[in-house]
Structure 1
Amino acid sequence: MAAKGSPEEALLIGVGGDHQLVESDQLAPAAVVVVREEVKKQLWLAGPLVAGALLQNVIQMISVMFVGHLGELPLAGASMASSFASVTGLSLLLETSVLSISLNTAAFVWMIPFGLGSAISTRVSNELGAGRPRAARLAVRVVVFMAVSEGLVIGLVLVCVRYIWGHAYSDEEEVVTYVAKMMLVIAVSNFFDGIQCVLSGVARGCGWQKIGVCVNLGAYYLVGIPSAYLIAFILHVGGMGLWLGIICGLLVQVLLLMAITLCTNWDKEAANAKDRVFGSSLPSDLAT
């Protein structure tokens, strides 16, 4: 054993202590670089998807804007042709007009989380297939953070423009006022929908299609639609009640998917992905 204060002890301290400090100092910058690269990869995948979806959706949004300035009745007719309001039995022109604008707006802002969900589906499936479970887990964490950030930013924008957004669709003051109220609901809906989109993308990338079907069935058909009917027609909240009911189903879906994702064993998922690849029943010439 080396004596106290001996050169050997100093050398051991230098190796065991200073080296660990150097590693800890280098760990944080390295983690930042890894996360930054992951964000770039997901934006590279999601960007074209978001742009294409936005361009496709803008055409319908602009057409509804034009129709709205012809009056409340034409706007209601356009709504019944482009949304589910036509099958709810809701016959009031104001409710139908505002639902048209709300659905149009929600579909427009939904394109961003839609792109993120498609991107994370590709990233997770690629990383699991390559046998990199830690990279897949990092990708999930990054995309959830991106979805939460997007939901907060878009929600803030929707709240800030709620008193002027309705004027783009209609000159009717009653419609504009109702749209301002609905924008708050849309902001909340978009926040949870963004998280739902990326978690659903994770489920697709992991091959949890059956689990996803069960979650969607339970969340929307057992919770969402009954809640929408209760709030809109029993409690007489109207069109906003339909939206609040769907948000209830959306919240259940987010909680279930989040619980499943948090409990995931990524090493096991990578092994399952490997088994699916090598256990494919396709002939080798078709598989290649």
Structure 2
Amino acid sequence: MDAEEQRGGLGSPLIPDPQEQYGLQSRNGLLNKDEIVEEVKKQLLLAGPLMSSNFLLCGMQVISVMYVGHLGELSLARASMATSFASVTGLSLIMGMCSALDTFCGQSYGAKQYRMLGIHMQRAMLVLLLVSIPLAIIWFNAGKILEFLGQDPEISSAAGDYARLMIPCIFAYVILQCHARFLQTQNNVVPMIASTGTATPVHLLICWFLVYNTSLGNRGAAVANSITYWINALLLFLYVRISASCKSTWTGFSKEAFHGFPNFLRLSIPSAVMLSLEIWSFEMLVLVSGFLPNAKLETSVLSISLNTCAMAYMIPLAFSGAASTRVSNQLGAGQPRLARLVACVSLCLVVIEGIAVASVMILGRKVWGYCYSSEKQVVNYVGEMLIFVAVSHFVDGPQSVLSGVIRGSGQQKIGAYVNLGAYYLLGIPTGVLFAFGLHVGGKGLWIGIVVALFVQALCLAIIVICTDWDTEVKKASDRVHNSQRG
């Protein structure tokens, strides 16, 4: 929807009547070529910057692990374990809870209730900063927790020291994610590239200096993470308060942010569960691979495969963010047919992306392993695994976009149930059966992930197909009005 349309006349209703709007649009046919082309342009303009920002943000952790890896295997193990622990017990939960802003801010923006975006962001920051306190306590005791879970005592102790130094990251990540969602839902994503594009090169220098030129050693990477996360967060914080583009959506701190916590939690908790269940299942792969015959080879190759999968996932993740933003905007604006059109366009784009990336993975599978190892056995096994990784990436794209549509429409609760069933009732048991029962090894574990992704995508597709978009518009209207009343 163009800016002129969004600013419609003062006499226009907050939410147009869905039935009347739908009837007018249907006269021109269900699909309009100009609308499709315009929607493709808008989604690509959103997804492109989001993709760049995702890669840059992911690059910070990769840089840290790469620097630490040159200090030796033990240092690498410490940093990798601490980073994985941080992702599972903190960052994924914050990201998940923060994704509730996709619904609240996106629909408020579509409904032209611009001031409410700032209120929603403040409320999210208050809740998530409080949640960060127990998470910080968990990170402070990471060493003891890892040792209790049966990890090597020496590695656990060092990983605990690393995790303690990363505690400031939690609070910076809250501010970063809240501001990123705030900007994303109003289709203003270029600042996110500017902030991450500034922070990542700075991280490269700070991490190098602290790891190699101070007594901190591998712990220097953790300190560097904290510093650059805060730089990234503060850049967005300042932008929102200075930029003229946020003048109508950020009107200063308000007491209204202290109201409506239950409404926020009703969406943020299922959002966190929905995301965390998926992330945790991938982390479990590495843990389970340690029990396979030739565990060293299996774990190494699986780690490489997960790293490759995570990097490639930054692309569909961007399309997911674009779909979430566009769906929530259209529902807030009372446009049920256009919300459905957004979902269709997003799926088409991500399927094309999936075919392209999967093809590259399959064609380059015999050489990709050399980026991580010079051992022929590892390289050959990585080549075999990349076929499964390519299939999983192709399926992962549609499920990612459909998850974005679910977030944009506020159906996170049913999405959480889908992820629970897909990964923990079907995917992981199937992977264990293939890996241990049928002796397929690490490839069997990945088959379980493919099954989970396929079931997840299928279930989400059924939910989206069966969605009554007129009803979702009414729910969006109620959500916007309830937010105004606090």
- The TM tier, using the shorter chain, reads 0.7 to 0.9
Structure 1 portions without partners, runs of 5+: 1-26, 284-288
Change (3 A) 1:232 1:243: same
- Matched with 2:336 is 133
Q: Of the candidates 425, 428, 440, which is equivalent to residue 237 of structure 1?
A: 440
Q: What residue identity is the alignment partner of 1:93?
A: K
Q: Are 1:173 and 2:174 an aligned pair? A: no
Q: Deviations over 1:62-89 (max 9, x none)?
A: 6777888999x77994896355455226
- Matched with 1:48 is 49
Contact 2:68 2:76 in 1 (8 A): no
Which gives a bigger RCO, structure 1 or 2 (Cα 8 Å, sep 6+)?
2
- Matched with 1:57 is 58
Note the 1:1-288 alignment, pairs <5 A. Answer: 31-61=32-62, 77=77, 81=81, 82=84, 84=284, 86-88=286-288, 90=290, 92-280=295-483, 282-283=485-486
Question: How many residues get paired?
Answer: 255
Deviation at 1:240, TM superposition (A): 1.2
- Matched with 2:238 is none
Q: What residue identity is the alignment partner of 1:50?
A: M
RMSD: 2.7
CA distance in structure 1 between the aligned counterparts of 2:71 and 2:386, rounded to whole angstroms: 22
Q: What residue identity is the alignment partner of 1:48?
A: P
Change (3 A) 1:85 1:258: closer
CA distance in structure 2 between the aligned counterparts of 1:55 and 1:70, rounded to whole angstroms: 24
Q: What residue identity is the alignment partner of 2:316?
A: P
Change (3 A) 1:252 1:106: same
Please, what TM-score do these two structures have when normalized by structure 2?
A: 0.49
CA distance in structure 1 between the aligned counterparts of 2:302 and 2:412, rounded to whole angstroms: 31
Q: Deviations over 1:117-162 (max 9, x none)?
A: 1111111111001101111111110000011111101000101110
Greater gyration radius: 1
User: Identity rate of aligned residues, in percent?
Assistant: 51
Contact 1:46 1:119 in 2 (8 A): yes
SS state at 1:279 partner: helix
SS state at 1:191 partner: helix
CA distance in structure 2 between the aligned counterparts of 1:63 and 1:240, rounded to whole angstroms: 28
CA distance in structure 2 between the aligned counterparts of 1:70 and 1:185, rounded to whole angstroms: 32
Q: Deviations over 1:170-198 (max 9, x none)?
A: 00000000000111001100011110100
Contact 1:129 1:274 in 2 (8 A): yes
CA distance in structure 1 between the aligned counterparts of 2:40 and 2:286, rounded to whole angstroms: 41
Deviation at 1:274, TM superposition (A): 1.2
Contact 1:127 1:133 in 2 (8 A): yes
Q: What residue identity is the alignment partner of 1:121?
A: S
Contact 2:285 2:445 in 1 (8 A): no
CA distance in structure 1 between the aligned counterparts of 2:388 and 2:63, rounded to whole angstroms: 22
SS state at 2:432 partner: helix
CA distance in structure 1 between the aligned counterparts of 2:367 and 2:59, rounded to whole angstroms: 18
Contact 1:124 1:202 in 2 (8 A): yes
Structure 1 stretches of at least 4 aligned residues deviating more than 6 Å after TM superposition: 62-71, 73-76
CA distance in structure 2 between the aligned counterparts of 1:210 and 1:267, rounded to whole angstroms: 19
Please, what TM-score do these two structures have when normalized by structure 1?
A: 0.80
Q: Deviations over 1:209-239 (max 9, x none)?
A: 1111111111111111111111111111111
Deviates further, 208-217 or 76-85: 76-85
Change (3 A) 1:78 1:187: farther
SS state at 2:356 partner: helix
Change (3 A) 1:67 1:159: farther
Contact 2:55 2:311 in 1 (8 A): yes
Contact 2:286 2:303 in 1 (8 A): no
Q: What residue identity is the alignment partner of 2:363?
A: C
Contact 1:79 1:99 in 2 (8 A): no
SS state at 1:170 partner: coil
Deviation at 1:45, TM superposition (A): 1.8
CA distance in structure 2 between the aligned counterparts of 1:67 and 1:180, rounded to whole angstroms: 26
Q: What residue identity is the alignment partner of 1:106?
A: C
SS state at 1:110 partner: helix
Contact 2:289 2:442 in 1 (8 A): no
CA distance in structure 1 between the aligned counterparts of 2:350 and 2:432, rounded to whole angstroms: 29
CA distance in structure 1 between the aligned counterparts of 2:307 and 2:386, rounded to whole angstroms: 12
Deviation at 1:282, TM superposition (A): 3.5
Contact 2:396 2:453 in 1 (8 A): yes
Deviation at 1:56, TM superposition (A): 2.6
CA distance in structure 1 between the aligned counterparts of 2:301 and 2:453, rounded to whole angstroms: 21
Contact 2:286 2:302 in 1 (8 A): no
CA distance in structure 2 between the aligned counterparts of 1:79 and 1:224, rounded to whole angstroms: 28
